[in-house]
């Protein structure tokens, strides 16, 4: 090969090497081996996007955290009819019940008014009749079958016999639908009777039962006993003093006789003699009957004062509230059916309790069912959730059963009332179902808003 051709090839190799060396900085950086190249390259627009693409690894990416949906608070729909109850100003318990139909269509309903234990209806208007409460041995109710015209108000009146003179009487009333389970509306009222003046009430009590007379007699007895004791002690002291003086005078004035008797002429000079010490008299103790009388009087005074103080304190106690201690929040309250009872968060009102009556749902655990119509009002400024296991029915033997949540859901048309909170300041009217075994009737219901709430107790007639 000629020398010129060899020179040209060497020069071409050198130039190509220089071109390769100059082009190396302009090449793209090599991708890491751990990152696999995509099978389908992304479009140009996607490649130009500033959003970073997550690095693919062996584990799939976790879905974004979504907060669980919070159940909406339970809301009480506006009932087609409204019930109002007012107590009459009569000597005997009386009530006026107004049933309002604000809709444009007629409504058929069953109105029930609960009667307190031991009372009976003496006057019933509007075709109502007295019937025994299902499952209860000594409870009655007044029942009306009504067909309310649209845009109408129906007024009913009842009068009851006196149970205990001067005691308040509460008689709630509820309007139910055709199934007899779901209440449209409930209302309650308490008859207190005419006010009795305090002077007449005091005058009606016997004289010996009045506290003022008893205290006055006790004070007089103590004064007389103290005076007799003081007089007796003073008299005894004076007698002891007189006897001592007589003995001293006799000893000091007797002449000394030596060697026989002497006449007045034979007496010598009488020198003053030192006074002889008076003999110590024997100290006498008071009679036994006096000591026993004083002790009895003092004991009677102490017992009377203690009894009067305890009576005043008991009279000042509010019997509607019972104190509680420990970890409970609030105070436990006990009342009757139809009386609103407040606890830490809720105000409960039990309007009716019936066992095995009406179109009750089938029990999930077998046995007999008791349906309680309960009004719940949230008194707090926030939503409150309550639980079915905290709502209990106590039986006569001391056993208790919790609310049957499955049967309660069926009674509320498939709505789980315990899964939804109660809105702040709202009121709901709900049926609660308790499944009990045998023929026992619940004697008391215990309702509470939370685990640490003292709750309320409702006596079932």
Q: Shortest CA distance to 338 belongs to which of 171, 166, 110, 112?
A: 171
- Helix, strand, or coil here: 396? coil
Whether the CA torsion 209, 212, 215, 217 is positive or negative: it is negative
Structure tokens at 399: 């056993």
Please answer whether residues 446 and 455 qualify as being in contact, where contact means their C-beta atoms are separated by less than 8 angstroms. Answer: yes
- Helix, strand, or coil here: 148? strand
Report DSSP state, residue 53. Answer: P
Q: How many CB atoms lie within 10 A of CB 455?
A: 26
Tell me the pairing of strands 107-114 and 140-148. antiparallel
φ, ψ of residue 279 in degrees (nearest 5): -65, 135
Q: Shortest CA distance to 411 belongs to which of 450, 448, 357?
A: 357
Beta strands in 323-437 (DSSP E): 332-336, 341-342, 346-355, 368-378, 392-394, 400-402, 427-436
pLDDT of residue 301: 74
Structure tokens at 364: 């999930």
Tell me the Cα Rg of the chain.
50
Please answer whether residues 429 and 375 qualify as being in contact, where contact means their C-beta atoms are separated by less than 8 angstroms. Answer: yes
Q: Shortest CA distance to 138 belongs to which of 398, 360, 333, 337?
A: 337
In the numeric block, the tokens 């020069």 are attached to 11
- Helix, strand, or coil here: 99? strand
Q: Give the helix/strand (H/E) hosting 335.
A: strand 332-336
As a whole number of angstroms, the distance between CA 228 and CA 154 comes to 77
pLDDT of residue 46: 38
Report DSSP state, residue 66. Answer: -
As a whole number of angstroms, the distance between CA 247 and CA 54 comes to 130
pLDDT of residue 281: 54
Residue-wise pLDDT tens for the chain (461 aa)? Answer: 555 555 566 666 676 666 666 655 555 554 444 444 444 444 443 343 444 444 444 455 555 555 556 677 766 667 889 999 999 988 889 999 999 999 999 999 999 999 988 888 999 999 999 988 876 666 789 999 999 999 999 999 999 987 666 788 999 999 998 888 889 999 999 998 766 554 444 455 566 666 667 777 777 777 777 777 777 777 777 777 666 665 555 555 555 444 444 555 555 555 555 555 555 555 566 666 667 777 777 777 777 777 766 666 555 544 444 444 445 676 789 999 999 999 989 999 999 999 884 445 444 455 689 999 999 999 999 999 899 999 999 998 889 999 999 999 999 989 999 998 999 999 999 999 999 887 788 999 999 998 888 899 999 98
Q: Shortest CA distance to 157 belongs to which of 102, 93, 81, 80?
A: 93
Q: How many CB atoms lie within 10 A of CB 449?
A: 27
pLDDT of residue 20: 63
What is the tally of helices (H) and strands (E) in the chain? Answer: 6, 21
Angle between helix 288-316 and helix 211-253 axes, rounded to 10 deg: 150
- pTM for the model stands at 0.59
- In terms of Cβ atoms closer than 10 Å to its own Cβ (0-12, 13-18, 19+), residue 368 is middle
In the numeric block, the tokens 């205290």 are attached to 215
Instruction: Delineate the domains of the chain, giving CATH numbers in brackets.
Output: 81-191 (2.60.40.1530), 332-459 (2.60.40.1240)
Residues whose CB falls within 8 Å of the CB of residue 244, separated by 6 or more in sequence, listed in order: 278, 279, 281
pLDDT of residue 56: 47
φ, ψ of residue 426 in degrees (nearest 5): -100, 165
Sheet with 368-378: strands ordered across? 341-342, 346-355, 368-378, 427-436
Q: Shortest CA distance to 460 belongs to which of 390, 405, 395?
A: 395
């Amino acid at each position: 090969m000629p020398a010129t051709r060899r020179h040209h090839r060497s020069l071409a190799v050198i130039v190509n090497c220089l071109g390769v060396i100059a082009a190396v900085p302009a090449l793209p950086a090599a991708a890491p081996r751990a990152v696999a190249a995509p099978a389908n390259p992304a479009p140009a627009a996607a490649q130009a996007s500033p959003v970073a693409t997550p690095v693919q690894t062996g584990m799939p990416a976790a879905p974004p955290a979504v907060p669980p949906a919070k159940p909406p608070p339970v809301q009480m729909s506006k009932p087609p009819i409204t019930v109002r109850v007012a107590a009459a100003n009569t000597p005997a318990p009386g009530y006026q019940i107004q049933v309002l139909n604000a809709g444009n269509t007629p409504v058929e309903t069953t109105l029930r008014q609960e009667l307190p234990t031991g009372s009976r209806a003496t006057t019933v208007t509007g075709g109502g009749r007295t019937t025994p409460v299902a499952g209860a041995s000594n409870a009655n109710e007044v029942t009306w079958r009504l067909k309310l015209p649209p845009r109408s108000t129906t007024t009913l009146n009842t009068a009851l016999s006196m149970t205990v003179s001067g005691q308040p009487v509460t008689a709630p009333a509820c309007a139910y639908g055709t199934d007899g389970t779901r209440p449209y509306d409930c209302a309650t009222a308490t008859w207190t009777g005419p006010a009795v003046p305090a002077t007449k009430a005091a005058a009606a009590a016997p004289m010996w039962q009045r506290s003022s007379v008893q205290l006055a007699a006790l004070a007089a007895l103590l004064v007389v006993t103290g005076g007799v004791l003081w007089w007796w002690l003073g008299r005894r002291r004076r007698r002891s003093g007189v006897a001592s003086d007589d003995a001293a005078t006799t000893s000091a004035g007797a002449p000394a006789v030596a060697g026989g008797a002497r006449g007045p002429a034979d007496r010598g000079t009488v020198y003053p003699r030192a006074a002889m010490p008076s003999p110590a008299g024997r100290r006498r103790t008071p009679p036994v009957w006096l000591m026993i009388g004083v002790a009895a009087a003092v004991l009677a005074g102490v017992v009377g004062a203690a009894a009067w103080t305890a009576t005043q304190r008991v009279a000042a106690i509010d019997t509607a509230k019972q104190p509680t201690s420990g970890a409970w929040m609030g105070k436990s309250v006990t009342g009757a059916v139809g009386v609103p009872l407040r606890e830490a968060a809720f105000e409960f009102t039990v309007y009716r309790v019936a066992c095995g009556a009406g179109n009750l749902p089938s029990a999930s655990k077998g046995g007999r069912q008791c349906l309680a119509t309960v009004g719940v009002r949230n008194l707090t400024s926030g939503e409150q959730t309550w639980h079915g296991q905290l709502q209990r029915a106590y039986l006569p033997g001391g056993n208790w059963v919790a609310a049957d949540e499955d049967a309660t859901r069926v009674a509320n048309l498939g709505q789980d009332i315990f899964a939804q909170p109660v809105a702040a300041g709202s009121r709901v009217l709900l049926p609660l179902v308790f499944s009990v075994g045998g023929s026992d009737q619940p004697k008391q219901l215990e309702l509470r808003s939370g685990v640490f709430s003292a709750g309320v107790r409702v006596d079932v007639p």
